[in-house]
Amino acid sequence: MSHWAPPVSPGPNPLAEVMAAAARSTRQRAAMLPPPGVVTVTRKVSREQGRHSAANCPSSWAIPDNSLAAIIRRPGGASSFPPCAALAAGLLLIAAGVLYLGRGWQSTVTGLILAGSGGFLAILSKEQYLILAAPICVTLVLASARGGSWRGLRRLRTREVRAAAVVAGILAAMTAVYATWNYTSPYGHRLEHVQAVDMIFTDIVTTRANAPAQLRALGLPVSWARYAGHYYWHPHSVRTNPLFTRYEGRLTDANIAHYLLTHPGSIASIEQKAATAAQLLRVTTLGDYPPASGHAAGSVESRVVVITWLAQRLPARLGLFLLLPLWAAMVAIGAITLRLRRGGSWHRDAAVLVLCMTGSAMAAFIPPAYFAGISTTRHMVGSNLATLLALILSLALAVSMGCRAVTRALARPGAPAAGPGDPAPVPIGPAPAG
């Protein structure tokens, strides 16, 4: 009778060890995944001011993203509708829709459909662009009024304006619902704490010499001065402090806003820093393609380099000394064009659009400047895009109005008479009788 004996292993199998290690790694990653239905995005750990990776490699930290683009996400994959694309499409749809407003009922309905869809995409593309609801809704209502004096209230008593008010009300209601959900959900709370740490310790508490007084004003421990200059994902940031959970209630946008209002001197320095970052337009040290796309690390999409190259030829660190005069000039061009009420109908449409985009640029500047802290250049894409659209239309308006003014000046009765060598003017119309 034969007895069964286990076979003797000839030695370790390298393939089996590799497969076992891969299985363990898969189980570990599965254990770290969030529950089904939870939307997460990866956050880069490098700061945009001087310390970038060569490629767009995400870190191992995952935080929730409450943007529309994150909600419209393929299961198990990356978002097929990135926030920047939603914002760009939204602003362009708004620009197209405004051109139809105030031209009768049918044209106004078409314009409201376009501008309303664009407002939905732009406002809800990211939490930082919720503030765009103010200039967009105001533009929809005012631009739907009939042409004439902007001071007449009768222009607002039309069915076109009432329809625009309904669309603006829908956008405002969706904005309110989004903001309420964002600031009451646990994911929104955590993201607010992350951004507050970034803002406080990279824009307010930046040096240990001034840190004690600034931390007292913020209601935070003075011992946290050693974290000055360290953003949230830094290996030695304040999130590693045992007292962090106790003071999370002070790491909010409301506390930052209170500090800025009570310390107005810091507003200008923070504004200048943010405007300097916005002047870069885009971060050229990071590539535009994911690692698996087949492009080399750091490869940049060539079709969007021209404007960036032109903008970066300007003197560095102009910041507010560039943006404030530019915004003021564009507002003046739009307001003067509406005030004069001369020229073709496209002058009025372009002027309204210039004021809308300039207001949107100013509004979109506020959240990244005062409540983001890091990645400011990327977060300023909304302000920069709105500024660019307003600048193009402002230049067209200025050239057209200038040419029109020169033509009118030459056509005045007091214009110089014709010289002896000039041909005599030819009369127009029927010849006088007998």
Residue 183, class by beta-carbon neighbours within 10 Å (0-12 exposed, 13-18 middle, 19+ buried)?
Answer: middle
State residue 410's pLDDT score. 85
Of the listed ranges 120-134, 145-159, 258-272, 384-398, the least confidently predicted one is 145-159
Mean pLDDT of 177-187: 88
State residue 126's pLDDT score. 87
pLDDT for 332 beyond 50: yes
Mean pLDDT of 202-217: 91
pLDDT digits (tens, 9 = 90+) for 56-66: 333 333 344 44
Please report which confidence band the pLDDT of residue 110 belongs to, taking 50, 70 and 90 as the band edges.
Answer: very high
Please report which confidence band the pLDDT of residue 358 belongs to, taking 50, 70 and 90 as the band edges.
Answer: very high
Long-range CB contacts (within 8 A, 24+) of 337-344: 337/397, 337/401, 338/150, 340/401, 341/147, 341/148, 341/149, 342/401, 342/404, 343/400, 343/401, 343/404
Mean pLDDT of 330-352: 84
pLDDT for 50 beyond 90: no
Of the listed ranges 42-51, 233-242, 386-395, the least confidently predicted one is 42-51
Please report which confidence band the pLDDT of residue 314 belongs to, taking 50, 70 and 90 as the band edges.
Answer: confident
Please report which confidence band the pLDDT of residue 416 belongs to, taking 50, 70 and 90 as the band edges.
Answer: low
pLDDT for 77 beyond 50: no
Domain boundaries, the chain: 78-184, 187-263, 264-288+302-408
Residue with tokens 């001369």: 342
pLDDT for 150 beyond 70: no
State residue 82's pLDDT score. 61
Residue with tokens 């207001």: 359
Mean pLDDT of 339-345: 70
Mean pLDDT of 158-179: 94
State residue 421's pLDDT score. 55
Averaged pLDDT score across all residues of the chain: 78
The larger pLDDT score, comparing residue 425 to residue 99, is at: 99
Query: What is the sign of the dihedral through the CA atoms of 180, 44, 231 and 272?
Result: negative
First to last CA, the chain: 145
Of the listed ranges 63-77, 290-304, 414-428, the least confidently predicted one is 63-77
Percent of the chain whose pLDDT exceeds 70: 71
**Nearest partner of 130 among 410, 390, 419, 364, judged by Cα:** 364
State residue 208's pLDDT score. 86
State residue 232's pLDDT score. 92
Q: 337 Cβ partners below 8 Å, 6+ apart? A: 343, 347, 348, 350, 351, 354, 397, 401
Q: Which of 241-250, 294-303, 411-420 has the highest mean pLDDT?
A: 241-250
pLDDT for 391 beyond 90: yes
pLDDT for 329 beyond 50: yes
- Return phi, psi of residue 312, to 5°: -80, 0
pLDDT for 48 beyond 80: no
Mean pLDDT of 304-311: 75
Cα–Cα distance, 284 to 309 (Å, whole number): 10
The larger pLDDT score, comparing residue 414 to residue 267, is at: 267
Task: Give this prediction's pTM.
Answer: 0.73
pLDDT for 51 beyond 60: no
